[in-house]
């Protein structure tokens, strides 16, 4: 949730709007329709999820207004100031509006929002229009998460481990994935064969058919990682890259736009982004640093400002409107020394030339270096100021 201000507010009364990054009722509609479509399969999952929805999530507006009243003042009618943005519109807005482009194609890819799992939009100035969508249960993000689960990592947090594991394997299962799990059209649109997936109504990501296809049950989370898991990671990474490239080619052809913006959890796959950049399909590519749901609050606020309140886009300060995403605090050498002395840390201060010599020597010896300079960045792949 993010609060939108027309000007800096010195009191809660000056807050114009508060916006939430998705629409709970649409999400609830998707859950109900999905359970009905798969009934009676999935009743256990349905029974487990409904109490939380009925108690809190379905009535998100009242929960949020109560929280705002407790935090910022009970005399303000927060309910009239509270807005909701659709999930993938929030993603698209988070990608386009902070970008350095006056106009661009916008591709969003994630697990699932309310119904949408992938969207194509075009932004121009302060306008942003979604042109096409792919809907649940067909999801590139959930396909990747299924392999995250199957290779023994935690869904919604371990996907980066699968991406990191992929270079150690060979895509031996890529053809198996495209022959059985996902049908990919020439324009990159896709459909999953739901016989192999349990996430729509079940309590796990994959079914027995998935396990039979790939030769066994999922790897237990703490078990040793074998070459098989490496090859599975390489395979789903290869399929993901192929789909992203097809979607990008289709977007370029359909819209004629020379710039591309990316957001959604799949846009955190920096290996796929690097491959996309090397293809030179677009003159420029800009990825929202907080491409996942953490950036949804930012996108929802930007969508309200530009689309609901008709607000202007600010002029470029640096290379983009997020000032390089350096939005966090900075710490001086003195701050670091004080903190280390307080906790009893042992350290040595070097001149710049000495520091560079030590660092380059360590890197050439294959050692890892922790480096912090300037302000911290926003986003889970933010490494430029903390390499």
DSSP class of 134: E
Measured distance CA(264)–CA(184) in Å, rounded: 20
Mean pLDDT calculated for residue range 261-278: 96
Q: What tens digit of pLDDT does each residue of 290-336 get?
A: 999 989 999 999 999 999 999 999 887 667 888 778 877 888 889 99
Tell me the pLDDT of the chain averaged across its residues: 89
Measured distance CA(17)–CA(76) in Å, rounded: 12
Whole-number CA gyration radius for the chain: 23
Q: Which comes out higher in pLDDT, residue 75 or 21? A: 21
Measured distance CA(62)–CA(49) in Å, rounded: 20
Are the CB atoms for 111 and 291 separated by under 8 Å? Answer: no
Measured distance CA(288)–CA(296) in Å, rounded: 10
C-alpha distance from residue 262 to each of 24, 79, 92, 156, 363 (Å): 24, 32, 8, 19, 32
pTM of the full structure: 0.85
Mean pLDDT calculated for residue range 114-121: 94
Tell me what pLDDT residue 340 has. 93
Q: What tens digit of pLDDT does each residue of 164-219 get?
A: 999 999 999 999 999 999 999 999 999 999 999 999 888 899 999 999 999 999 99
Measured distance CA(160)–CA(322) in Å, rounded: 24
Helix H or strand E encompassing 175: helix 174-176
CB atoms within 10 A of CB 82: 18
Mean pLDDT calculated for residue range 353-365: 95
Residue 159 pLDDT class (50, 70, 90 cuts)? very high
CB atoms within 10 A of CB 13: 10
3-class secondary structure, 329: coil
3-class secondary structure, 191: strand
Tell me the domain boundaries of the chain: 333-364
Closest CA to 106 of 251, 269, 281, 282: 251
């Amino acid at each position: 949730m993010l609060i939108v201000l027309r000007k800096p507010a010195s009191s809660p009364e000056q807050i114009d709007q508060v916006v939430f990054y998705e629409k709970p009722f649409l999400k609830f509609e998707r859950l109900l329709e999905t359970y009905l479509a798969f009934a009676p399969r999935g009743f256990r999952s349905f029974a487990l999820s409904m109490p939380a929805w009925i108690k809190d999530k379905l009535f998100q507006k009242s929960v949020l207004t109560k929280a705002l009243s407790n935090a910022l003042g009970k005399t303000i009618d927060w309910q009239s100031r509270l807005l909701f943005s659709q999930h993938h519109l929030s993603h698209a807005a988070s990608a386009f509006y902070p970008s350095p482009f006056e106009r661009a194609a916008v591709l969003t890819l994630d697990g699932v929002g309310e119904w949408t799992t992938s969207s194509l939009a075009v932004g121009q100035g302060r306008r942003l229009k979604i042109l096409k969508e792919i809907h649940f249960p067909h999801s590139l993000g959930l396909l990747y998460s299924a392999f995250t689960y199957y290779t023994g990592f935690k869904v919604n947090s371990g996907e980066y481990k699968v991406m990191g594991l992929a270079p150690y394997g060979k895509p031996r299962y890529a053809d198996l994935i495209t022959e059985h799990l996902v049908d990919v059209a020439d324009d990159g649109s896709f459909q999953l064969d739901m016989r192999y997936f349990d996430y729509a109504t079940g309590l796990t990501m994959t079914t027995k058919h998935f396990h039979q296809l790939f030769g066994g049950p999922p790897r237990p989370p703490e078990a040793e990682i074998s070459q098989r898991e490496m090859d599975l990671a390489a395979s789903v990474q290869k399929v993901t890259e192929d789909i992203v490239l097809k979607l990008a080619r289709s977007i370029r052809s359909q819209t004629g736009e020379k710039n591309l913006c990316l957001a959604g959890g799949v846009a955190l796959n920096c290996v796929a982004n690097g491959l996309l950049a090397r293809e030179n399909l677009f003159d420029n590519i800009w990825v929202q640093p907080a491409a996942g749901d953490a950036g949804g609050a930012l996108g929802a606020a930007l969508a309200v400002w530009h689309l609901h309140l008709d607000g202007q886009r600010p002029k470029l300060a640096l290379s983009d409107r997020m000032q390089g995403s350096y939005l966090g605090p900075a710490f001086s050498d003195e701050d670091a020394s004080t903190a280390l002395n307080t906790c009893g840390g042992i350290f040595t201060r070097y001149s710049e030339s000495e520091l560079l010599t030590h660092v380059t020597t360590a890197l050439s010896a294959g050692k890892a270096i922790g480096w912090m300079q300037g302000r911290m960045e926003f986003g889970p792949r933010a490494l430029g100021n903390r390499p």
